[in-house]
């Protein structure tokens, strides 16, 4: 094909059930796929054929993709939708019930409209000058689009800085960013080339997902060039321009749900994964590691710190000062089985650290290399990389034999001893040499062109090992690095953050960006991983924020040799113990939010503007968030603060969790914020499930109750809560139950219905439903008997006995 220095001229070439092809005589093609009323895919092929590998991202509503990936032209999983396709005035116009796409035959430029308020609203144009690279610039992939000055851009996975990505640029080149700045560092650990554009003036928006495994870069308006007007752009180092446009009228959350659906169903993990997880590098680095680990359990018992798991850092694998995956240091751990059993007796599961690189002096290195399980150079030698303080080589997970080897090691070295999970770490696969080759399931390619694929396949292999070892148990695993689809396998966290108040503030925004990118089951290293020890106030405030996230782990490798532990400061130990108990009180709500993430692709946490897109007060890049749709959380992220100012969305009233005081929306209020009482506000019309049982270390208890803010006048408040055994795969066979609480109100009466559906894991015939004490309307229970009521701490506790 001759290089096209002029714009290619396309013609409508063919149309199938859901695909339209535009072809150019010189070779370029544009393939358009109508995948749903609200999703259209654009595939630009400068040479008329695919250059990139298969996709491991697209799994519409599915739990996984084929191990060897999905063919790029595979449209299975997408139901046919009606649409029109016509040529008009030099354009091909494709129209569904929600999207109108106009493609200029001269140059292939796309213009997008979304149906909104019974009409069409224009939302995006390709840049009119050189939107695509048709092969004459270089070998990279480009997409330039026009930029409107007031647009907001949210997503791109795990990013430092403000939640709104406008006027910034970002790299997706996964690296081990030890001690990063949560305000400025880029790149970081994850590769998720998806973001939502929101146009506040029009109350509409859309999502863009670029399906690439290559290192790539997004410029969201930071770059200016006089020749082109205002624009933003995407550049990938390899492959094809293959992007999905997702219409998102009325709310940015729609694009997030649809993107999550498009890339696979989030894993339904065991309930214990929501508990506190202890962790520190120092215990397993100590020469008496097994004894130090025992002391952690002793301290939990002493201070009544609830705990469900412990993340076992890689020191357990050490030989000398280096770490060797799947090796057990028997001097540090002389009785592995006894050690694991001692933890399990107290209900604490162990999640050991595993790494995908074998150091050159690893005891198994020669055998693994001889078997061809490593990423190699073109001449068959190991592709050497720097890994911590030694040279090694990465395992090649695009080789099925490597996957088999990995699963066997996970089962034999870890799971057979009673380990409950795997912690997949240091898996950024930092491979830069063009001579390093991945086997690619029989279609070899340079390993640097799809590094994140290795990460994805590693976590998948770990999950499959757990499934094979215990088929009836839900896998739980964690991964630091990852890409699109990682939510199908793992819980994650924001990596090796630095200890500072600034990190606390910007980790909050980082987690929201990740949730708005389809990955909700996440958290942060509480207290900061790298740097000095957090002071008592910072540690307490970090815990008071962390208890609201799906992953709750205190972890550290402090420069001064200290250890972040709940009891590290006597003056805050009881505060932290109480905060952790508050976390366990909220687990039924968090568990329901994760179920809604799994079942309906709902983000667990969301920015205020995403939940209230029409409220101008919520557009500010603040330091609060919605936890689900029902609970507003406003952490303290500055030192010396004893109150917290909160901007209340105008569309509802709000009730303080601590006092029951009710506030009208549309105003700023200043609320008390002591260390042990983080600001929490319940939204009008919502009901939140709680566990009100008294709990102590190693003595779990569960009693369901509900807290609600009924509608002021005529209206309905409601909430639901999933119930199952919390651990097994029996939910797949219908072994699940649900609570449903509905409070219908008018000016005089509250009519409360408490319903149980399905198979409940335990019997509970009396339930407490709490409403603000200021609401003294008469109460009628329509599904049982009202036994009595009591006013405590600003709440009116109503006890209901259920019929049957």
Question: What's the number of domains the chain is made of?
Answer: 3
Tokens of 725: 């055994």
User: DSSP string spanning 530-595?
Assistant: BSSPPPHHHHHHHHHHHTTSS--EE----TTS----TTSSHHHHHHHHHHHHHHHHHHHHHHHHHH
The stretch 18-35 carries a mean pLDDT of 96
Determine if the pTM surpasses 0.85: yes
Rounded Cα–Cα distance for residues 229 and 129 (Å) = 9
Distance CA 794, CA 804 (A): 31
- Looking at residue 394, what is its pLDDT? 98
Neighbours of 319 (CB within 10 A): 14
490 located within any domain: no
C-alpha–C-alpha distance, residues 16 and 382, integer Å:
46
Alpha carbons 157 and 514: distance in angstroms, whole number: 4
Contacts of residue 290, defined as CB under 8 A and 6 or more positions apart, other chains included, come to: 332, 333, 334, 335, 339
> How distant, in Å, are the alpha carbons of 57, 238, 472 from that of 211?
7, 12, 34
What is the C-alpha separation between 376 and 392, in angstroms, rounded? 11
CA angle at 39 for the pair 36 and 41, rounded to the nearest 5°: 110
Q: What is the average pLDDT across 703-718?
A: 98
The reply to whether 150 falls in a domain is yes
Is 267 a member of any domain?
Answer: no
Assign residue 723 the CATH number of its domain.
2.60.40.1180
pLDDT in tens, 184-200: 999 999 999 999 999 99
Residue 512 three-state SS: helix
Give the residues across from 580 on adjacent strands.
Answer: none
Host domain of residue 116: 10-262
- C-alpha 78/C-alpha 34 separation (Å) is 9
Range with the poorest average pLDDT among 253-262, 456-465, 555-564, 693-702: 555-564
**Domain shared by 147 and 226, yes or no:** yes
Residues 522, 266: Cα–Cα separation, whole Å: 12
Query: With helix as H, strand as E and coil as C, how does 38-107 read?
Result: CEEEEEEECCCCCCCCCECCCCCCCCCCCCCCECCCCCCCCCCCCCEEEEECCEEEEECCCEEEEEECEC
Q: Tell me how far the alpha carbon of residue 490 is from its chain's centroid.
A: 9
Task: Tell me the DSSP string of 538-552.
Answer: HHHHHHHHHTTSS--
Same domain, 35 and 179: yes
Instruction: Give CA 1 to chain center in angstroms.
Output: 43
Where does a domain end: 225, 240, 262? 262
Does 290 map to a domain? no
Q: Specify if 297 maps to a domain.
A: no
Asked if pLDDT for residue 131 goes beyond 90, the answer is: yes
pLDDT band at 5 (very low <50, low <70, confident <90, very high): low
Question: For position 2, what pLDDT does the model report?
Answer: 39
Query: Tens digits of per-residue pLDDT, 194-233?
Result: 999 999 999 999 999 999 999 999 999 999 999 999 999 9
Full 3-state SS string of 101-121: EEEECECCCEEEEEEECCEEE
Give residues with Cβ within 8 angstroms of 232, minimum separation 6.
Answer: 144, 145, 147, 153, 218, 219, 220, 221
Q: Is residue 50 part of a domain?
A: yes
Taking only Cα atoms into account, the Rg of the chain, rounded to an integer number of angstroms, comes to 27
Instruction: Please provide the average confidence, as pLDDT, over all residues in the chain.
Output: 97
For residue 704, give the 3-state DSSP assignment: strand
Average pLDDT over every residue of 452-465? 98
For residue 3, pLDDT over 90 is answered with no
pLDDT of residue 386: 95
Confidence check: pLDDT of 711 > 50: yes
Kind plus residue range of the DSSP H or E element containing 630: none
Of 162, 113, 153, 150, which is closest to residue 234 (Cα–Cα)? 153
Specify whether 204 is located in the same domain as 66: yes
In this structure, what CATH number is given to the domain that contains residue 383?
3.20.20.80
Q: Is residue 350 part of a domain?
A: yes
344-376 pLDDT tens trace = 999 999 999 999 999 999 999 999 999 999 999
CATH code of residue 36:
2.60.40.1760
Q: Give me the residues paired with residue 801 across strands.
A: 766, 785
Q: Report how far residue 373's alpha carbon sits from residue 325's, in angstroms, rounded to the nearest whole number.
A: 15
Do 339 and 397 share a domain, yes or no?
Answer: yes
**CA distance linking residue 43 with residue 50, whole number of Å:** 9
Residue 114 and residue 233 in one domain = yes
Shared domain check, 330 and 181? no
Sign of CA dihedral 153, 154, 160, 161: positive
Say how far apart CA 391 and CA 398 lie, in whole Å. 22
SS (H, E, C) 325-360: CCCCCCCCCCCHHHHHHHHHHCCCEEEEEECCEEEC
Task: Please provide residue 274's backbone torsions phi and psi, each rounded to the nearest 5 degrees.
Answer: -90, -10
250 and 371 in one domain? no
What whole-number distance in Å separates Cα of residue 270 and Cα of residue 731? 11
Which residues, 6 or more positions from 313, have their beta carbon under 8 angstroms from its beta carbon? 279, 280, 281, 283, 284, 285, 353
Residues 367 and 459 in one domain: yes
How confident is the model over 574-621, as pLDDT tens digits?
999 999 999 999 999 999 999 999 999 999 999 999 999 999 999 999
Q: Token pair of 212, please?
A: 């690439």
Average pLDDT over residues 257-266: 98
Q: Quick one: 212 and 344 in the same domain? A: no
> Which H helix or E strand runs over 199?
strand 194-199
DSSP string for residues in 19-31: EEEEEETTS-EEE
Q: How crowded is residue 567: how many other Cβ atoms within 10 Å of its Cβ?
A: 15
How confident is residue 1, by pLDDT bands cut at 50, 70 and 90?
Answer: very low
- Same structural domain, 17 and 96: yes
Q: Which of 432, 459, 475 is the last residue of a domain?
A: 475
DSSP run (H or E) holding 370? helix 365-370
Which residues fall within 8 angstroms of residue 311, CB to CB, at 6 or more apart?
277, 278, 279, 351, 353, 423, 478, 553, 555
Alpha-carbon span 128 to 86, nearest angstrom = 22
Q: Tokens for 243?
A: 């992007």
- Interacting residues of 231 by C-beta distance below 8 A, sequence separation 6+: 127, 144, 145, 146, 147, 221, 223, 225
Please give the Cα distance from 770 to 796 (Å, whole number): 5
Whole-angstrom distance, CA of residue 713 vs CA of residue 726: 38
Q: How far apart are the first and last CA of the chain?
A: 76
83 and 190 fall within a common domain = yes
Q: For residue 3, what are its two tokens?
A: 């290089």
In this structure, of 116-120, 538-542, 570-574, 676-680, the range with the lowest mean pLDDT score is 116-120
**Across residues 122-130, what is the average pLDDT?**
96
- To the nearest 10 degrees (0 to 180), the angle between helices 570-600 and 536-546 is 20
Residue 612 domain flag: no
Length of the chain: 804
Q: Residue 178: its pLDDT value, please?
A: 96
Q: Say yes or no: 256 and 322 in one domain.
A: no
């Amino acid at each position: 094909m001759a290089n096209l220095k002029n714009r290619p001229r396309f013609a409508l070439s063919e149309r199938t059930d859901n695909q339209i092809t535009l072809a150019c005589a010189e070779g370029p093609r544009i393939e358009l796929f109508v995948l749903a009323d609200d999703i259209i895919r654009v595939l630009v092929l400068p040479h008329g054929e695919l250059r990139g590998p298969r996709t491991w991202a697209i799994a519409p509503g599915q739990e996984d993709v084929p191990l060897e990936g999905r063919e790029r032209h595979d449209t299975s999983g997408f139901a046919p939708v009606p649409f029109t396709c016509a040529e008009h005035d030099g354009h091909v116009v494709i129209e569904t019930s929600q999207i109108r796409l106009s493609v200029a035959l001269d140059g292939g430029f796309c213009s997008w409209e979304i149906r909104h308020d019974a009409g069409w609203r224009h939302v995006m144009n390709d840049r009119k000058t050189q939107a695509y690279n048709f092969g004459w610039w270089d070998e990279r992939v480009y997409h330039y689009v026009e930029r409107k000055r007031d647009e907001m851009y949210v997503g791109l996975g795990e990013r430092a800085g403000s939640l709104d990505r406008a006027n910034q640029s970002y790299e997706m080149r996964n690296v081990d960013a030890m001690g990063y700045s949560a305000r400025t560092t880029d790149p970081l650990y994850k590769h998720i080339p998806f973001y939502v554009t929101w146009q506040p003036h029009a109350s509409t928006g859309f999502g863009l997902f670029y399906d690439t495994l290559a290192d790539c870069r997004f410029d969201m308006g930071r770059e200016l060039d006089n020749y082109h007007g205002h624009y933003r752009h995407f550049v990938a180092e390899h492959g094809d321009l293959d992007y999905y446009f997702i219409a998102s009228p009325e709310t940015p959350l729609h694009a997030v749900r649809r993107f999550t659906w498009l890339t696979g169903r989030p894993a339904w993990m065991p309930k214990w994964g929501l508990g506190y997880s202890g962790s520190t590098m120092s215990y397993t680095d100590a020469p008496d590691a097994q004894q130090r680990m025992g002391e952690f359990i002793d301290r939990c018992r002493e201070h009544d710190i609830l705990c469900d798991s412990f993340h076992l850092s890689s020191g357990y694998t050490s030989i000398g000062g280096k770490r060797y995956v799947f090796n057990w240091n028997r001097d540090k751990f002389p009785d592995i089985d006894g050690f694991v059993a001692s933890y399990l007796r107290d209900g604490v599961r162990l999640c050991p650290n595993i790494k995908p690189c074998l150091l050159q002096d690893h005891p198994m290195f020669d055998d693994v290399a001889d078997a061809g399980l490593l990423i190699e150079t073109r001449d068959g030698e190991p592709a050497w990389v720097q890994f911590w303080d030694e040279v090694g080589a990465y395992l090649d997970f695009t080789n099925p034999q490597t996957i088999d080897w990995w699963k066997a090691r996970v089962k034999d070295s870890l799971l057979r001893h009673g380990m409950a999970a795997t912690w997949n770490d240091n898996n950024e696969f930092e491979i830069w040499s063009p001579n390093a080759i991945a086997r690619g399931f029989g279609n070899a390619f340079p390993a640097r062109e799809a590094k994140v694929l290795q990460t994805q396949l590693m976590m998948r292999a770990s999950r499959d090992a757990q499934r094979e070892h215990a088929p009836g148990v839900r896998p739980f695993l964690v991964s630091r690095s990852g890409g699109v689809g990682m939510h199908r396998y793992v819980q994650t966290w924001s990596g090796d953050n630095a200890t500072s108040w600034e990190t606390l503030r910007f980790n909050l925004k980082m987690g929201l960006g990740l949730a708005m990118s389809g990955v909700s089951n996440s958290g942060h290293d509480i207290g900061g991983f790298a740097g000095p020890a957090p002071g008592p106030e910072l540690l307490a405030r970090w815990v008071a924020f962390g208890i609201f996230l799906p992953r709750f782990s205190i972890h550290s490798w402090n420069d001064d040799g200290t250890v972040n532990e709940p009891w590290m400061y006597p003056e805050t130990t009881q505060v932290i113990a109480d905060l952790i108990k508050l976390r366990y009180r909220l687990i039924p709500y968090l568990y329901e939010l994760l179920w809604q993430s799994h079942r309906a692709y709902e983000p667990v946490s969301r920015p205020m503007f995403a939940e209230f897109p029409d409220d101008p007060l919520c557009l500010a890049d603040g330091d609060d968030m919605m936890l689900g749709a029902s609970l507003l959380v406003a952490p303290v992220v500055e030192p010396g603060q004893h109150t917290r100012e909160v901007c209340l969305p105008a569309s509802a009233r709000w009730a303080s969790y601590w006092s029951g005081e009710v506030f009208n929306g549309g105003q700023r209020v200043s609320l008390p914020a002591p260390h042990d009482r983080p600001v929490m506000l319940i939204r009008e019309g919502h009901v939140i499930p709680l566990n009100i049982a008294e709990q102590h270390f190693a003595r779990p208890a569960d009693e369901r109750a509900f807290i609600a803010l009924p509608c002021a006048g005529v209206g309905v408040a409601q909430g639901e809560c999933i119930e199952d055994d919390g651990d097994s795969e029996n939910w797949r066979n219908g072994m699940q139950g649900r609570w449903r609480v509905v409070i219908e109100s008018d000016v005089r009466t509250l009519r409360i219905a408490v319903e149980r559906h399905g198979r409940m894991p335990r019997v509970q015939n009396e339930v407490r439903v709490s409403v603000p004490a200021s609401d003294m309307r008469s109460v009628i229970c329509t599904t049982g008997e009202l036994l009595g009521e009591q006013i405590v701490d600003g709440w009116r506790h109503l006890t209901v006995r259920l019929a049957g």
